[in-house]
Amino acid sequence: MLRKNWPFIYTLLLLLGDFVFFNLAFVVAIYLRFDSLSVLPNYREPLLIANLLFFPLSISLGVFRSVHQAPLENQKAHLRRFAVYLGLFLMSYLFLTKGHKYSRGVVLIFLMAQFFFLEVFHLLMYRLNRFLSRKGFGRKSTLIVGTDSSARSFFEQLQEWYGDRYQIRGFVANGRVHMSDPAIKPYIVGKYEEMDTLIKEYQVDQVFIVSDSMLQKKYETIRKACEVHHVPVKMVSPIIRNLMKQIKVKDISGVPLTTHQEYRYRYRTWQSRLKRALDITVVLIASVVLVPVGLLIAALIKITSRGPVFFKQKRALYKGGPEFWFYKFRTMYVDAEERKKALLEKNETNGALFKMKNDPRVTPIGRILRKYSLDELPQFINVLKGEMSIVGPRPLPVSDFDLLKNGKMNYDWYQKRGLAKPGITGLWQISGRSHLSFEEMVLLDLYYIENQSIFFDLEIMFETLPVVFFGKGAY
């Protein structure tokens, strides 16, 4: 029982420990500032505010999401961001409430002390986690598909990142065995066509495909065998290694090509209802601001260019997937679709995604709306209708799927995006937006689907605010 539920137990212990050390840091700050704890009762208000900020901030910043599999450097990065936001909110509160009676020295010492205590505690828990993984806690029987130097390098990285969490049972040849890395040859247990047998023989819990290309047809055989046995399979490629460096991505071992059946069922029951309730709640609260802003934008669009206020378009998550009418504020001239064909060769991304800087079809007011994502506001109508969620994979124009080049998507791994409801914002939007390729967008969507939760949604919503405010990656 303890071994099976270790990820949850580890996260709970870390959360409770952080909360204890967080409060201990405040006591230490009082003592270091005044050389006595006699004034501690006078600081009940800032201590209360700090405690009220702890859980919303830590959840919104993803401090504890998938922390049992997060590398130590990733955890430290989250703790640094937590300290920065905590300082901003706490100092802002004291400024707005004229809390001049409270020493700013106490606040500064508290911020430094809590970061130090939490960092040390996370280090100790990280080492404990690695020690227990050697005893079988959370250990996964694993196969690596690939036998070249990249596969060996990935094997070494897994050991560095996770210790003995992944018990490598062997390597599976995905090509010519005689071209394999000499250090790997003795540990080759079979070929990719034998994956079904190998999974049963080694009681496999996890499969990694190490390849420079995700486009080869043979990987479909591996993926389908893993789906039959409910075994997660993850793709590791140069593209993915670049994405895995992002702080929002906790499991840096790869991006899933399948979604665990049991997890999907669990999410689709009670969490899907909770997600819908969260969507409705956010829309109703935000409507106080959205309605007057929307009316102003509609007036500006009508005054500055000919055509309707709204732009609607048939969109879907993948080619052949369920379609719906997608709403936006119009940011282009009315002949934009006709002019698009002449601009296809200037497309600055690939796949089913058309993006172009300085697009001549965009109106002056449209550029402002796009930069700050104000053109997306009508999509809250889609959310109310139940066609979209606030957080989820980005739906794409149905016509754009015809832009997929021959051979680019010769199997259906990207159709896994359809396992989630389309969203206004998502992991792609807070990770680079227009600077990412179609493949990178899809991989981030698959990561989100595998790890989706209410807490992850809240984290993405929180991260969306500065992205929108500063207009990052939008054009």
pLDDT tens for each residue of 117-144: 999 999 999 999 888 877 777 778 899 9
Residue 391 pLDDT greater than 80, yes or no: yes
**Tokens linked to 223:** 């993926």
463 or 359, which is more confident: 463
Tell how far CA 224 is from the center of its chain.
25
**In the block, which residue shows the tokens 């809590």?**
114
Q: Which residues pair with 171 in a beta bridge?
A: 144, 188
256-281 b/e (C-beta count within 10 Å ≥ 16 → b): bbbbeeeebeebeeeeeeebeebbee
Percent of the chain with pLDDT over 70: 81
Residue count (the chain): 475
pLDDT in tens, 400-446: 777 665 444 444 567 778 888 999 999 888 876 656 667 777 778 88
Residues of the chain with CATH 3.40.50.720: 140-258
Q: Is the pLDDT of residue 56 over 70?
A: yes
Give ∠ CA 37-41-44 in degrees, rounded to 5: 120
Mean pLDDT over 225-242 rounds to 76
- How many Å separate Cα 330 from the centre of its chain? 29
Task: For the chain, count helices (H), then strands (E).
Answer: 15, 11
User: Distance between CA atoms of 399 and 442, rounded to whole angstroms?
Assistant: 17
Task: Report, as an integer, the average pLDDT of 350-377.
Answer: 80
The more confident residue out of 396 and 120 is 120
What's the rounded Cα separation, in Å, for the pair 340 and 327? Answer: 19
Backbone angles phi, psi at 172, to 5 degrees: -115, 125
CATH 3.30.70.260 fits domain 140-258: no
Amino acid identity, position 385: K
Residues 89 and 50: their CA atoms lie apart, in Å, by 9
The tokens for 464 are 């969306």
End-to-end CA distance of the chain: give it in Å, rounded.
51
pLDDT for residue 446:
80
- The percentage of the chain sitting over the pLDDT mark of 90, rounded to a whole number, equals 36
Confidence of residue 41 (pLDDT cuts 50, 70, 90): very high
Rounded to whole angstroms, how far apart are CA atoms 384 and 327? 12
The pTM score is 0.77
The token duo for 269 is 């029951």
Tokens read off for 400: 């754009």
The whole-number pLDDT of residue 409 equals 45
Return the DSSP state at 138.
T
